[in-house]
A and B are shown apart, each in its own frame.
Chain A
Amino acid sequence: MILTPALELDGVSRHYPGSPPVRALDDVSLSILAGELTAIVGPSGSGKSTLMNVIGTLDRPTGGEVRIDGAATTTLTDAGLAGLRAARIGFVFQQFHLLEGASVVDNVAAGLLYRGVARRERRKLSTAALERVGLGHRLRHRPPQLSGGERQRVAIARAIVGEPAIILADEPTGNLDTATSASIMDLLTRLHTEGATILVITHEASIAARCHRQITMRDGHVIADAANTLEKTTA
């Protein structure tokens, strides 16, 4: 059970044509097991955003294979990838990407919108997810009425509401102050202990240190892959 890979990258490349061509990702192989809390860390331009897009199936690799929850993605059609994202991947973005015109509960419910779940059921699961992230009292509010930290909690609730195989958090604390960042990391850590598989992409070493494994990227290559045993014991 613990050895089931939630995500596997096998020789993945992403080259952009041009002169000279940009090798944003070059032969990246890695495997993330279910239940891991992993950070992909690297400076800007290291290829981690491209990696995030490729893992999230928002972008297709020019070479290699990405497997999500055991399913190969290169052979999937665009609609097939959309279905995979709807069912197996939860996204958390630096910009939160909330629907400003919709209530908090409907924003989280949108995480189940493209799975064909009925509205009543979506709202029920959404409320439960919001309670998990400590926002059970904010259901009827709209995103503009919330603080940055609260907005990111809404986004996290939206990512977990469908119980995906993997949660991809792209710079989840990039727009937040230090204290709020810490509380968001506390939340992600707690969700991890409750069983979620989380991949955090960050350029901040302090955020990466809160995860149990750090994959370091530079110039489109994985240059280090280390387990943080110290953090694991304190968690």
Chain B
Amino acid sequence: MSRTRTWKSKLRPADVLDAGLYGVGGRTGRSTLTAIGIAIGIAAIVAVFGISASSRADLLAQIDALGTNLLVVEAGNTLFGEESKLPIDSPAMVRRINPVLDATGVSLLRAEVQRNEYDTTPNGLSVLATETSLLDTIEGTLARGRFLDKDTSTLPTVVLGAIAAQRLGITDLTGTPTIVIDGERFAVIGILDPLTLHPDLDRSVLIGETAATEYLGFELYPTRIYARTSPQHVDDVTRVLGRTVNPGAPNEIEVSRPSDALEARAAVDQGLQRLLVGLGLVALTVGGVGVANVMVISVLERRSEIGLRRALGATRRHIGLQFIVEAATLTTIGGLTGITIGATITYLYAQRQGWTVSVPANIIAAAVATALLLGLVAGLYPAIRAATMNPADAVRPSG
């Protein structure tokens, strides 16, 4: 008489979610209160990381604006105190270092510069022969005219630093003003804007390398190299520059770098951050316990709903899953609210400090994951209680 026929309960994934949301939607007030604990914890953590990231981003922007990634290589003194020169091909060697984005060599010339042939007042200006890439390497800008290019660097032309232009009394380029270097006339084709990081260049007159040899008869040796590196590799590049430029005598090479700025970059207060994150975690734990508590009560109150669902064919697993999803939904709502609050706090604080706002994506992802995980953990015990409820007891009229 009996057939070996079986039927299987099935609950579609979309319906699992639906069943989980049923309990949340039905008790909006309670759900909100439950989610608040989680929201506070998440908000605290997101705000702490957001504010410190914004502050850090701001610091980095400030430091980067100063040019942390610009290194200056100079010939130091020999062991005997003589001024040493850099090898003739050293700018090219520096350019060959992988993280070096751009490098330019300049040669200091022992030359005198004057407004005209009759001018004899000392002006403290120096003359530098430079490669045409200098302006890009130091990220300088022109107040007037243009910089040396491959044509003008072979002609008797100069570009003046801001102070040099002032001292020579050249304020604009109308009528092609000229100056005199070691008795030779040079046409001024450009004037630089002031360079905060390079006051020495402000006091310089720049001429092309070919022009320096051709018109002034100098034999050129680079005396200084400006090298711009990718910001992450400043330290690495600093370490290898000496050996690259002068493998025979690396100690004769002086590499200067904005070490003060780098120290500031590393100095982010970690103590306070840890304390605040710790407080956030305490809030989260308390919030999680709150969710578990409310869910246990909810399971008791919804005895008949559980019984009904079992009668309709829900397996224990389906019931357990429903309550897990419900708990996870509560904590996720709390988490998302917390992220919004935390991001808002970060925004307002950064705004007041005049920083650019930065809430790292991995912090948001971690906050969502934490909230979700908390829900799964907090929902486990209530879910087990709901799942193991005797269906016959659960459908019985209460009382």
Which chain A residues have a beta carbon within 8 Å of chain B's beta carbons? 8, 49, 53, 56, 58-59, 65, 67, 69-72, 76, 78-80, 82-89, 91, 93-95, 97, 99-102, 110-111, 113-116, 118-119, 158
Contact = CB atoms under 8 A, between A and B. Distances in A.
A81 to B, nearest CB: 9
Nearest to B319: A82
B361 interface: no
A70 B5 contact: yes
Nearest to B391: A58
11 contacts: A53-B392, A58-B307, A79-B317, A82-B310, A85-B313, A91-B311, A95-B398, A113-B19, A114-B11, A114-B312, A119-B14
B311 A56 contact: yes
Contacts of B317: 79
Nearest to A168: B311
B5 A113 contact: no
Contact of A86 (B3, B25, B313): B313
A83 B7 contact: yes
Contact of B312 (A65, A76, A111, A119): A111
B312 A99 contact: no
A8 B11 contact: no
B2 A114 contact: no
Given A99-B308, A101-B25, A102-B22, 5 more contacts: A65-B2, A82-B318, A85-B311, A85-B313, A89-B311
B6 interface: yes
B397 A71 contact: no
Interface residues of B, number: 39
Given A58-B392, A95-B304, A101-B25, A115 B313 contact: yes
Given A58-B392, A93-B395, A100-B26, A70 B312 contact: no
A93 to B, nearest CB: 6
Contact of A8 (B1, B6, B305, B315): B1
Contact of A82 (B22, B315, B398): B315
Chain A contact residues: helix, strand, loop or mixed? mixed
A158 B308 CA distance: 11
B15 interface: yes
Q: Across the A-B interface, give the 4 residue pairs with the lowest CB-CB distance, nearest first.
A: A86-B313, A116-B10, A114-B313, A101-B26
Give the interface centre of B7, B308, B313, B395 by most chain A CB atoms within 10 Å.
Answer: B313
A137 B395 CA distance: 29
A97 B9 contact: no
Contacts of A99: 22, 305, 308
Nearest to B14: A119
Nearest to B11: A114
B326 to A, nearest CB: 12
Contacts of B318: 82, 114
B2 A67 contact: yes
B395 A88 contact: no
Interface string B147-161: 000000000000000
B28 to A, nearest CB: 10
Contacts of A116: 9-12
B198 interface: no
A72 B318 CA distance: 23
A95 B397 contact: yes
Contact of B6 (A58, A76, A111): A76
A169 to B, nearest CB: 12
B312 A86 contact: yes
Given A67-B2, A82-B9, A113 B312 contact: yes
Nearest to B307: A97
Contacts of B398: 95
A83 B395 contact: no
Interface string B289-321: 000000000000000110111111111111000
